[in-house]
Structure 1
Amino acid sequence: MARKPLELPAGVEFIGQTIRIRFTWKGQRRCETLGLPQTPKGIKAASDLRSNVITLAKLGVLDESRYSEFFPNSSYSTSSAMPTFGEYAQSWLNGRDIVLGTKNNYLSSLNNYWMPILATIPIDQITSTFLRKIVGEIPWERPAIKRSALQRLNPIFVTAMLDGLLLRNPLSSIETPAPGRKDIDPFSVEEANRIIASMYAKLPKSMKIYAALSEFAFFTGMRPGEIYALRWDDIDMSKRTAHVFKIVADQKVEFRTKTRYDRHVMLNSRAMNALAEARKVADLRATQFRRKVPNSPYVFPPSRTTEFIQDTTVTAKHFDAAVDALAIRPRPQYNCRHTYATMCLMANMNPAFIASQLGHSVRMLLSTYARWINSKDDWSEVDKLEGVLVGTNSVQDQQTIT
C-alpha cells in the first residue's frame, strides 16, 4: 500500500532529498534549498523559516547580513556569516574517521532530533537555555535514547569551541541521564550443553555449521561479528589460538574489532571440538560441486550462497528454534558471550586474563559481571562474619556477668 504523500505548506517544496522554500525579497523571487530532511519536523522547520523571512522582509529588517545568516550557502548572498548548525554538523561528520555503522548512528540521531530544529540556526546563536527548552519538549521514548542523542550532539559543540566558533559548550549545563545497567542474563552450563547437543542432533548435513558456531560462541565468548569474520588462517591449531582482528559489520568484513585492539583467544577443548565439527562441514561442502561457494575460507560460512555470515538473523533462527524446542527461557544468542564470561569468573579464573580473552577492560569486566565473581565462595565469606558475631556475643556475655 503506497504511503500517503505529505501535504506541503505554501512556498515549501521537495527537491532531491532535501527541502526548498520560495519567497519574494526586494521585489525578486528567491528559491533557497535547506539542509532539512523530508519529514514532518523538517517540513515544519522549513515553513517556519519561510514565515520568519517573509515577516522580517515586510518589516524592512532583512538585510544582506541577516539573509546570509539564514542562507549561508545562497547564490544570492554576498557576505560571509557564521556557519549554521546544519552546515557545521555536516562538515564535522564528513571530517571524522569513523566506520560506516557509527556514522549512520550519528546521522540517524542528528536527523531525528536536532536537524529539524537547529539546522538553519547559526551555531554561535544556540544557547543552553534554547537547548534545554528543546530537550524538554522532545518526547523521549526512554532515558537511554535521550542520553545517546545528547552524547552524539555534544562533540559537535566541543569541536566548534576548539575551532574558535563558540566561547562555551551550550550542552555543558544540560544534565545527561545516567547510563542504565544492562541486564546480564547468561545461560547455565547445563542449558548451553542441551542447546548445542540439540542443534548437532537436529540440523542436517552442512547446516550443522550453526551448531558448531554456537558451541564455539559458548566456549570462547567471542562477539558474533568476530566469529563470522574468523578464517581458517586466523586459527593456529598447534598453539590452540584464534587471532581476532576482524569483524562483520554492515554486511562487510572490516579489519578492526569493537575496541580497535586485536587479541589472541586461547581455545579450550570445547572450542577445539567446534572447530573439528566445522572442518567436517567444510570437507562436506567441498564435495558439493553445485554449491555456489564450495570452499569458503571462513570457519563458519552460511549454508547457502555467501562466503561469510553477514547478519545475526542467519544464525539466530536456528539457535532460537533449539531454545524453543527445549523449553529453555528465551535469550538472545549474544548471551553466549555472557555465559562464557560468567563460567570463567565462577571458576575463579584471573579477571585480567578473562578480560583479555573477551576484549574487555578489567574495569568493564568487573562492573558488568560483579555478581558472579567468587559467587561459589559467598557463603564461606558469610561464615567469617558469623565467627565474628559469635565472638562478639561472647564478649558481651562476659561483660554482663562481670
Structure 2
Amino acid sequence: MLYVGYPQTPKGIKAAADLRANVTSLIKHGVLDDQRYAELFPNSTYANYSATPRFGEYAQEWLDSREIVAGTRKNYLGSLNLYWMPYLAMLPIDSITSVMLRKVVANTEWATPGVKRAAIQRLTTVFGTAVKDGLITRNPVESIELPVKAKKPIDPFTVGEANQIIDHLYKTLIHSMRIYAAYFEFAFYTGMRPSEIAALRWEEVDKEKRLVNVCRIVADYKIEERTKTRNERQVMLNSRALHAIEQAKLVAKQRALQSRRKRSESPYVFPPTKNFEFIQQSSVTDKHFQVALTELGIRPRRQYNCRHTYATMCLMSGMNPAFIANQLGHSVQILLSTYAKWINSSIDWRELGKLESTIDGELTKS
C-alpha cells in the first residue's frame, strides 16, 4: 500500500479521498504520466524509479514515428493493444525482463501459432528500437522462442483444370458478371497476386508491347501505390492473358452502354459488378470461383492457387527460373524454395526422356 502522509482525521481522510479521485480520473483519461505521479506522490520510491518512459508511452511514440502504410500500422496497433499493453503499458521500459515476457506469452491464449509469432516479432521490433535509442542495453524479447512459421500449402491446379474453370466461368457468367471470368483467365495466365490484379488500371496496360506494369495493390480496402515487395515490375502477356484483357474491355464497353446514367468506363481493368470502383476483398471473386469448382467436381482450393498454377506451369515447361521469378515478383531464391518440387519434377521427366530415347533405339535395333 502507498503511504500518502495524511492523518486519520476527517480532514485527512477527505484529502486522501480527493487524491484518490484525482488519480482515478487521470488514469481513466490516460494522462497519469511519471511527472504527474511524482507531483502527486513526491515521497514515493516509484516516482524516481526510472528515468525511462513507460512501455505504453514509448510504443505509441515509436508507432507514430514509423513511415508505414495504414494496413501495417493497424496490424501493429492491434497486436500491441491486444497482447502486450494490458501487462506492460505502465511499466518503465527498462524494467521489463525476458522472464516477465515469457510469463505473458505462457498465459496468453493464442488463436494460432502464426498470430503468436507475429505478436512476438512486433514486440521484438519495438524493443530493438529502444536498444538503438539507448534506453535499454539488450532486447528482452530476443530470448523468447518463436513458433515455427507455418507455410500455406502450395496446391496448384493442372492446366486442364485451369482451362475447365475458365471455360465454365465464361459459359455461366453473363453480361457484366463476365468480368470475373476474364479476371480468372488473367490470374491463371499471369500469376499476378490477387491484390495486384484488383488494382490494375488500364493506363498500366500496353497491348502493343504485350506488357502490364505492376505498381499498386489493394490493401485493407484501399489502393496502395506500391507492390507487396515495394518493387515495380513488368509482366509479359501471353495469348491467354491478352484474351482476358480483350474480354474485360468488351465487358467495360457493354457496361457503359447499358448503364441508365452516363458514366465513363472504369479506370480499373477488372472492376466489380456493383457498389465499388475496384475489388476491395477476395470474397468478391472467390464466391464465383468456389461455385465453379463445385459444379465441375474439382477439389476445393483457395483462389491464390491460380498464381501457383502459373508458376508451376512455367516451371514444368522448362522456362528459365530467373525469368519466372521476375514475372512473379519473387527473388530467385524464394522461387526455388517455394516450388522446388516442381522444378525437380520437370528436370526428372526430361532426364527420364533421355532414357526413353535410348530404350526406343534399342528396340528399333532388335
Which TM class, normalised by the smaller chain length?
0.7 to 0.9
Distance 2:105 2:29 in 1: 21
Greater displacement, 250-259 / 214-223: 250-259
- Give structure 1 stretches of 5+ with no counterpart: 1-22, 37-52, 54-60, 70-79, 386-402
Q: Is 2:84 aligned against 1:90? A: no
Within the alignment, does 1:214 sit opposite 2:184 as a pair?
yes
State which of 20, 27, 41 in structure 2 corresponds to 1:33.
27
Matched with 1:66 is 46
- Deviation track 1:209-256 (CA, whole Å, cap 9, x = no partner) reads 000000000000101111111111101111100000011112221110
Between the aligned partners of 1:323 and 1:27, the Cα distance in structure 2 is: 68
Contact 2:201 2:268 in 1 (8 A): yes
1-structure distance, mates of 2:29, 2:334: 40
**Which 5+ residue runs of structure 2 have no aligned equivalent?**
1-13, 31-36, 356-366
How far, CA to CA, are the matches of 1:291 and 1:279 in structure 2?
Answer: 19
CA distance in 2 between partners of 1:32 and 1:199 (Å): 60
Q: Which has the higher strand share?
A: 1
The alpha-carbon distance between structure 1 residues 152 and 343, as it changes in their structure 2 partners (threshold 3 A), is same
Q: C-alpha distance in 1, partners of 2:350/2:197?
A: 39
* Separation (CA, whole Å) in 2 of partners of 1:380 and 1:214: 30
Mapped partners of 2:127, 2:183: distance in 1: 44
What CA RMSD, in Å, does the superposition of the two structures yield over aligned residues? 2.6
Distance 2:202 2:97 in 1: 55
User: How far apart are 1:380 and its partner, in Å?
Assistant: 6.0
Instruction: Report 1:105-116 matches (<5 A).
Output: 105-116=75-86
TM-score (norm 2): 0.84
Q: CA deviation at 1:25?
A: 5.0
Structure 2: which amino acid aligns with 1:175?
E
Is the contact between residue 292 and residue 304 of structure 1 (CA under 8 Å) also seen in structure 2?
A: no
Counterpart of 1:28, as a letter, is L
Distance 2:103 2:264 in 1: 59
CA contact (8 A) 2:316 2:342 kept: yes
- Mapped to 2, the partners of 1:316 and 1:273 lie a distance apart of 21
Matched ranges for 1:99-248 at <5 A: 99-248=69-218
Residue 173 of structure 1: how far off its partner (Å)? 1.6
TM-superposition CA deviations, 1:341-388 (whole Å, max 9, x none): 111111111111111111111111111111110413325657999xxx
CA distance in structure 2 between the aligned counterparts of 1:134 and 1:24, rounded to whole angstroms: 37
Q: Which has the higher contact order (CA 8 A, sep 6+)?
A: 2
Per the normalisation by structure 1, the TM-score is 0.77
| 1:371 and 2:359 correspond | no
Alpha-carbon offset, residue 35 of structure 1:
8.1
Deviation at 1:181, TM superposition (A): 2.8
Change in CA separation of 1:350 and 1:24 when aligned onto 2, cut-off 3 Å: farther
The residue that corresponds to 2:286 in the other structure is 316
**Letter of the 1:97 counterpart:** E
Aligned pairs (5 A) from 1:223-302: 223-290=193-260, 293-302=263-272
Q: Does 1:361 align with 2:320?
A: no
1:291 touches 1:305 (CA, 8 Å); kept in 2?
no
Question: Residue 34 of structure 2 corresponds to which residue in structure 1?
Answer: none
Instruction: Write the distance in 1 (CA, Å) between the matches of 2:285 and 2:347.
Output: 37
293-302 or 156-165: bigger deviation: 293-302
Aligned-partner Cα distance in 1 for 2:15–2:51: 22
Identify if the C-alpha distance between structure 1 residues 202 and 83 changes in structure 2 by more than 3 Å, giving closer, same or farther. same
Give % identity.
Answer: 58
Offset of residue 204 of structure 1: 0.8
Shift of 1:201: 0.3
TM-aligned CA deviation for residue 177 of structure 1: 1.9
Q: Give the C-alpha shift of residue 63 in structure 1.
A: 3.1
Q: Distance in 2 between matches of 1:235 and 1:192?
A: 24
Q: Which letter maps to 2:26?
A: E
> CA offsets per residue over residues 265-311 of structure 1, 9 Å max, x none?
00001000001111111111121231585511111111123322222
Secondary structure, aligned partner of 1:219: helix
Cα distance in structure 2, aligned partners of 1:325 and 1:292: 37
Q: Give 2:102's aligned amino acid.
A: R
The AA in structure 2 aligned to 1:334 is Y
Give the Å deviation of 1:26.
8.6
* Amino acid of the structure 1 residue aligned with 2:63: L
**Equivalent residue of 1:94, what SS?**
helix
Contact 2:315 2:346 survives alignment (8 Å): no
CA deviations on 1:25-77 (whole Å, 9 max, x unpaired) are 596232222688xxxxxxxxxxxxxxxx9xxxxxxx983562476xxxxxxxx
Amino acid at match of 1:63: N
Counterpart-to-counterpart distance in 2, 1:190 and 1:292: 41
Indicate if the aligned counterparts of 2:182 and 2:248 stay in contact, CA closer than 8 A. yes
Greater share of residues in helix: 2
C-alpha change, 1:314 and 1:379, in structure 2 (3 Å) is: closer
SS of residue paired to 1:242: strand
The answer to whether the 8 A contact 1:85-1:120 is kept is: yes
